[in-house]
Amino acid sequence: MDGSRWDDADHNYGSQRSDPPRSGLRIGKLSAVTLRCEIAVRTAMKLVPAPIPCNEAERLSVLGSYEILDTKAEAVFDRLVEMAARLTDCPVALISLADSKRQWLKARPGLNLAEMPRDHAFCAHAMLCPTGPLVVEDATRDPRFAGNLLVRGKPGLRFHAGMPLVGPDDRALGTLCVFDIKARSLDAAQREALVSLASLAATVLELRRKVRHGRAMAA
């Protein structure tokens, strides 16, 4: 990959280092307050929020049972997104979880945002079809995302592919997704890799929940 695609050359998946990459997309010095102000201004740009699933109350209850929101980074999830970035040749990959009002990022190497409003989340759209990945080849040409802050402004996202993280009850909790700043697609092998890694991430989430509950019962 061409490391020059990203402003912060020493924080990208495209470096030539032999060891695993530790960071990818950086959004300058954009603070949470600045982001909220920018979003308020850009909301008028015909951003199309994802519809709320009919089983949203149950989905949120299940998500809460994982006790994972606002927790610290965990190596297993960071490794999964690093693998996703490598296998799809994308500069950044994330594991995101959709709360009622926000998209929270469990694994986000190099991204200096921990969350953003759900209305601006690619994840919220991807979760509507839990059986397959959502692939957006050029976000500027998709009315759902053309008004998104990260598309219209820095870093200028173009490509997105996200596979839902589906629990045992078939409810989507979030996604494992990859991004690029150039319009592109995935080949069959890359698409399969993304689906497999998302399935593995969902399995790890479930095992994590069972371990935590087991410890709580034994305490």
Q: Which residue has the higher pLDDT, 37 or 173?
A: 173
The predicted-structure confidence for 80-99, as pLDDT tens digits, reads as follows 999 999 999 999 999 999 99
The predicted-structure confidence for 116-154, as pLDDT tens digits, reads as follows 899 889 999 999 999 999 999 999 999 999 988 889 988
Mean pLDDT of the chain: 84
Of the pLDDT bands very low, low, confident and very high (cuts 50, 70, 90), residue 46 is low
3-class state of residue 134 by DSSP: strand
Whether the per-residue pLDDT at 49 is higher than 60: the answer is yes
Q: Residue 25 belongs to a domain with what CATH number? A: 3.30.450.40
pLDDT of residue 8: 38
How much is the pTM? 0.78
Tokens 């530790």, located at residue: 22
Residues 22/109, Cβ–Cβ less than 8 Å: yes
Domains: count for the chain: 1
- Domain of 26? 3-218
State whether the Cα torsion 143-144-148-153 is positive or negative.
Answer: negative
